[in-house]
Structure 1
Amino acid sequence: MPDVEPFSLVILLVAAALMVAVASNRLGQRIRVPAPALFLVVAAVASDLFPVLGQVPIKVDERIVTVALVFILFDGGMHIGFRRFRSASAAIVWIGVAGTAVTAAALAAAAHYFFGFDWRASLLLGAALSPTDPAVVFSVLGGREIAGRSGTILEGESGANDPVGIALMASLLAAGGGGLSAVAGGVGEFLLQMGVGAVVGILGGYGLMKLMRHVGLPNESLHSVRAIACAAFIYAAATMLHGSGFLAVFLAGIIVGDSRAPYKLEIERFASGIASIAEIVAFAVLGLSVSLRDVLSSGVVLIGLALAGLLILVIRPVLVGLLSVRIRLKLGERAFILSAGLKGAVPILLGMYILGSGADHAQAMYSIIFIVVLISVVLQGGLLPYLASAFRVPMRRVEQQPWALGMRFSDEPHGLHRFVVAEGSAADGATIADLELGEDGWISMVRRDGHLVQVRGGMKLRAGDSVLALSETAEAVAELFGPRA
């Protein structure tokens, strides 16, 4: 077995790199630099120091990032859930679709008129840089979660515009050429991808929910593996039917997010861990596929900086801001959403699509995408926590809770529900005795700031409390703890 030691060395290096990447999240919090930026820069430097690292074919990189994005979108959909999505669905769809289109068009116009790219290259560049990334936003907020409707819109928009941006890129690449026939073909391809992706995602989500609820497995750990495998299956099925697999897997995650199912908490944690690793992989692959020497000597640095400035200071605040006028938000929340359009894994993938297509100026466009993503994550991401504080965006700190005590049941405990008291809800500031839980309803447990609180009738609940309640009328009770309409 002569290759055992060399193969072990490969495993050692990969494992060490992964451990360093995970630990860099703590380092990023201390030095106030978002962790994704560290992955990006370190990987780019490594590819210059060790050129062999950057010799992976672009198709392989593209497939790696595709798989990573499937898990990121599935976890993002689960995090939103159907109840939260339904409360802001119109705003999410409007900003996710119209906002992406406007951003892509404005960037394309800037690339054509200011920097001399032809229209095809300009449209490809605009489509690549139009989607945003919720995972990067969460990583730079440092353990804080955006509360209320603004958080739902931000997460939903970032999840929705990823499939839209990818479908837009696929339509542009498939259209080729020019003229009305190419435009019509591109529009038809886009609508086909969105429609098929939505149908497969909804059917797949409900199918996965039924599977989780009614089909047991001999080992509890296998439930999490099955859910992730089903997400990959839904993506592949939609793609093979000429639909958007990314939209399908995002919608499937939303549908599964609120479902009550055995081992649901374990599934959510497993999916979140896989998505975190996937984000690391996506940024590392971008860094390894780019040579800093080539980027700095290619003459596109100023173009990348200019497009990043236009995107952050003009296009999103002004154009997307005009689209958001019809959405009911506080001024500070609106300003924060418009300043939080960070770039992440999807522009990386779309840049690889451009490279793989052999389009004119493909390498220059890929270098520009690298610069814009880096500026967005470092500068825009670094300022985001301060902007959130300045705009007084409602946030809550998500404390880690490494210790847990719980009970498991062989059958679903009917009537047992967990709620989180939303700010401004009927339960916020009310005593337990004053809550209208019905004749058979009562609160059995309250967790506040990570600690167990003794339940008494005169105890006042406050925003952020986790409540374990028994009630046969879940919908009515949920309205007490959720945000007011």
Structure 2
Amino acid sequence: MIDSGFNTDGLVLLAGILFIVGVLTTKFSSRLGVPSLVLFILVGMGMGTFIYFDNAQIAQMIGVLALVIILFEGGIQTKWSTLRPVILPSLSLATIGVLITSGVVAVAAKYILGFGWLEAILFGAIIGSTDAAAVFAVLKGQNIKPRLEATLEAESGSNDPMAVFLTVAMIEMITLPDANIYSLIGSFFVQMILGVLLGLIFGRLAVWSLNQINLDSSGLYPVFATAFALLTYGVTAMMNGSGLLAVYIAAIVIGNADIAYRHSIFRFSEGFAWMMQITMFVILGLLVFPSELFTIANVVNGIMLSMILMFVARPVAVFLSTIKMNFTRKELYFLSWAGLKGAVPIVLATFPLLAGVQGSAEMFHVVFFVVMISCLVQGSTITPLAEKFGLTGPKVSEPTHSLELISLGKADAEMLEYRMEDDAEIVGMTLLDIPFPSGTLVNAIIREDKLIPPTGNSMIKGGDFLYILAPRKHKKALTGLLQKKKSSTGEFERPYAN
């Protein structure tokens, strides 16, 4: 627990310092070539010199809550058009790939750590999955080819049920010798099915609610959306389904729907996810005492298991679980190297601690060490490796300007931000000639980081960011107009009337 010498004022001060350090850490991490989450963990370990914290249960609760927020943010940013072609390889990596990785690591743990077979399989299960928080953090803002990025993000967002199932099943097999393995397998499929179904249901319910409700403040819409993420996890978990999978699927549904205050929700979710990521990794860092982590045995064992994981287990799992799925050899090498470990293995390593499994303390420290090596070595070399293999795509520009309004309240209007594609039908037309729905007003055009004051003669170009104020009742029609592609005849249809 946290040292009782800390009072409320001290904790508030500590939180302020923590987030300031965390934000500054993200600023310098790119310059140092080190993933920010590694620095967050190091900050937590450094703070552990004057803050005593050893409550694994609180760390586990904070970790799960943070993962819900991070998965939600990652899901709403995922485009269905990019995700759809990689569903099969992602699911294969999230299930078969995790099984293979866990099995290979379990064999290594048996002989390196001297565990029994059940404890070794438990260790493999804990470390077998890729981590959504780590993958989303490292890939964000990079120009990795969309197919590879989508595969990794979908895998990391959907492999938690398999990792949790294997971990819980092994703990039950160890602590309850008469546990029925067949009932455990059945519970896994129940978790997966409930996770998918409830994720779809709550996702659609959230979309309907966001579009139907008329709140007094636009700032409440992001809070409302986040509340649905927490509700989705809570209800699904209470029904013995996979709450994390449900949150990720619900987020994909929400992110690909036409919802009110879309960009406000996205911005809020991104900031909130960063806050939870900082909190989670610092807390996990606090849970580890350097004097117990950096023993000769943990360092040697951690390095050996990390090498086996990175150069044997993960590559074997990737190559076997993606057979005949049209990946090139370089792409498979990249997918193998990009299987980052992070918060999920550390959080799962608290399960045997709380269950009192023999050797769980050693297991936790070795898992922590393996995660550190994975984040430090793999996380810092993903982008250079992608560039060397020619797996990077063109940079997609994002607006450096932002146009925001004070809450519109009951005005029943919304500000939309839209990036024009090169093949959009209105590209090359002037604002005066575009049949916008009634009451629509283009407030700003951002072109190559420059503000173009809109006039009737302003011509739309590919790559432009349009900021458009429109009545909500015309939002669907406006979106259809902006997304409409050029026809083969080159003639423009005028389905909208002012």
Q: TM-score, normalised by structure 2?
A: 0.82
Distance 1:123 1:323, change over 3 A: same
- In 1, Cα distance between the equivalents of 2:239 and 2:232? 11
Matched, 1:427 2:415: no
Provide the residue aligned with 2:28 in structure 1: 27
Give 1:404's aligned amino acid.
L
- In 2, Cα distance between the equivalents of 1:292 and 1:278? 23
Give 1:37's aligned amino acid.
V
Selected match of 1:155 from 153, 156, 159: 153
Provide the residue aligned with 1:53 in structure 2: 52
Matched, 1:8 2:4: no
Deviates more, 1:192-201 or 1:83-92: 83-92
- In 2, Cα distance between the equivalents of 1:458 and 1:265? 24
Number of residue pairs aligned between Structure 1 and Structure 2: 465
- In 2, Cα distance between the equivalents of 1:191 and 1:132? 20
**Paired residue secondary structure (1:310):** helix
CA RMSD across the alignment: 3.6
**Paired residue secondary structure (1:260):** coil
Q: CA deviation at 1:91?
A: 2.3
Provide the residue aligned with 1:41 in structure 2: 42
Unaligned runs of 5+ in 2: 469-474, 487-498
Selected match of 1:378 from 376, 379, 383: 376
CA contact (8 A) 1:431 1:458 kept: no
Q: Deviations over 1:442-463 (max 9, x none)?
A: 9x887554345799999874xx
Provide the residue aligned with 1:280 in structure 2: 278
Distance 1:217 1:474, change over 3 A: closer
Instruction: Please say which structure displays the higher CA radius of gyration.
Output: 2
CA contact (8 A) 1:171 1:190 kept: no
CA contact (8 A) 1:64 1:282 kept: yes
Deviates more, 1:247-256 or 1:194-203: 194-203
**Paired residue secondary structure (1:308):** helix
Provide the residue aligned with 1:125 in structure 2: 123
Q: Deviations over 1:107-152 (max 9, x none)?
A: 1122124442212111211111122234434544574243422221
- In 2, Cα distance between the equivalents of 1:156 and 1:311? 21
Distance 1:480 1:121, change over 3 A: farther
**Paired residue secondary structure (1:33):** coil
| Higher helix proportion (structure 1 or 2) | 1
- In 2, Cα distance between the equivalents of 1:6 and 1:113? 47
Deviates more, 1:450-459 or 1:110-119: 450-459
Distance 1:89 1:412, change over 3 A: farther
Q: Deviations over 1:192-216 (max 9, x none)?
A: 2112222221111111111111112
Q: CA deviation at 1:418?
A: 3.5
Q: CA deviation at 1:43?
A: 1.5
CA contact (8 A) 2:191 2:241 kept: yes
Deviates more, 1:187-196 or 1:203-212: 187-196
Q: CA deviation at 1:411?
A: 4.9
* Percent identity (aligned): 28
CA contact (8 A) 2:211 2:260 kept: yes
Q: CA deviation at 1:380?
A: 1.1
- In 1, Cα distance between the equivalents of 2:275 and 2:295? 32
- In 1, Cα distance between the equivalents of 2:177 and 2:13? 54
**Paired residue secondary structure (1:199):** helix
- In 1, Cα distance between the equivalents of 2:375 and 2:301? 17
CA contact (8 A) 1:88 1:152 kept: yes
CA contact (8 A) 2:204 2:250 kept: yes
- In 2, Cα distance between the equivalents of 1:199 and 1:261? 21
Distance 1:419 1:174, change over 3 A: farther
**Paired residue secondary structure (2:129):** coil
Q: Deviations over 1:360-383 (max 9, x none)?
A: 110011001111110011111111
Q: CA deviation at 1:162?
A: 2.4
- In 2, Cα distance between the equivalents of 1:479 and 1:335? 38
Q: TM-score, normalised by structure 1?
A: 0.84
Unaligned runs of 5+ in 1: none
Matched, 1:450 2:446: no
Distance 1:140 1:200, change over 3 A: closer
**Paired residue secondary structure (1:64):** helix
Distance 1:346 1:269, change over 3 A: same
Distance 1:299 1:468, change over 3 A: same
- In 2, Cα distance between the equivalents of 1:29 and 1:20? 15
Q: Aligned ranges for residues 187-226 of structure 1 at < 5 Å?
A: 187-226=185-224
Distance 1:387 1:448, change over 3 A: farther
Matched, 1:294 2:292: yes
- In 2, Cα distance between the equivalents of 1:288 and 1:184? 38
- In 2, Cα distance between the equivalents of 1:271 and 1:22? 16
Give 1:26's aligned amino acid.
K
Matched, 1:231 2:229: yes
Selected match of 2:67 from 49, 66, 69: 69
Q: CA deviation at 1:311?
A: 1.4
Matched, 1:396 2:395: yes
**Paired residue secondary structure (1:403):** coil
Deviates more, 1:324-333 or 1:292-301: 324-333
Provide the residue aligned with 2:83 in structure 1: 85
- In 2, Cα distance between the equivalents of 1:94 and 1:272? 28
Q: Deviations over 1:309-329 (max 9, x none)?
A: 111112222331232232234
- In 1, Cα distance between the equivalents of 2:226 and 2:150? 23
- In 2, Cα distance between the equivalents of 1:385 and 1:23? 22
**Paired residue secondary structure (2:395):** strand
